[in-house]
């Protein structure tokens, strides 16, 4: 392997990590920002209080939307193989959602019904796939 090839591979790896990392930051900021806005406007109860299943349904809906957007962003920023990049990001999201579910399981009603973290776990990969499909769709 030549020095030029090594540099190109490192640059591509850096762009791959950046594509996934930027999307994770965007999804996190959008999700937390929406949570804060909904608490501040009274749509959600004060922090630490339990919410209804309907409100957790709302949270699930915008998290799925933001996850799909993040996967779209990853695919658009990926230096190559956009679907693979989006699915790697989705796999990381699945692991993080699983850890979140395990850590908060039976910790109290403020963490929501059991279906909520499970929904986030099982939808991460489909959202990753959908975001990549949308990003790579050819017009016309």
The whole-model pTM stands at 0.91
Query: Is the pLDDT confidence value at 29 over 70?
Result: yes
pLDDT given for residue 1 in this prediction: 64
Taking the C-alpha atoms of residue 71 and residue 93, their distance in angstroms, rounded to an integer, is 10
Mean pLDDT of the chain: 94
Taking the C-alpha atoms of residue 108 and residue 56, their distance in angstroms, rounded to an integer, is 14
Collect all residues with Cβ–Cβ distance below 8 Å to 6 and sequence separation of at least 6. Answer: none
Collect all residues with Cβ–Cβ distance below 8 Å to 12 and sequence separation of at least 6. Answer: 79, 80
Query: Is the pLDDT confidence value at 89 over 70?
Result: yes
> Could you read off the pLDDT of 39-61 as tens digits, one per residue?
999 999 999 899 999 999 999 99
Q: Is 105 left (phi over 0), alpha (psi -120 to 50) or beta?
A: beta
Section 91-96 average pLDDT? 98
Cβ atoms < 10 Å from Cβ of 23: 28
> Could you read off the pLDDT of 73-85 as tens digits, one per residue?
999 999 999 999 9
Domain ranges of the chain: 3-136
Measured between alpha carbons, how far is residue 95 from residues 101, 104, 136 in Å?
Answer: 10, 14, 25
């Amino acid at each position: 392997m030549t020095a030029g090839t090594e540099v190109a591979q490192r640059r591509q790896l850096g762009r791959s990590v950046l594509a996934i990392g930027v999307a994770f930051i965007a999804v996190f900021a959008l999700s937390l920002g929406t949570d804060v806005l909904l608490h501040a406007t009274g749509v959600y109860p004060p922090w630490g209080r339990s919410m209804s299943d309907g409100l957790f349904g709302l949270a699930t809906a915008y998290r799925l939307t933001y996850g799909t957007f993040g996967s779209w962003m990853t695919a658009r920023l990926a230096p190559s193989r956009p679907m693979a990049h989006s699915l790697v990001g989705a796999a990381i999201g699945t692991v993080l959602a699983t850890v979140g579910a395990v850590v908060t399981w039976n910790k109290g009603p403020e963490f929501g019904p059991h279906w909520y973290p499970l929904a986030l776990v099982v939808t991460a990969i489909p959202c990753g796939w959908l975001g990549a499909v949308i990003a790579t769709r050819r017009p016309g």
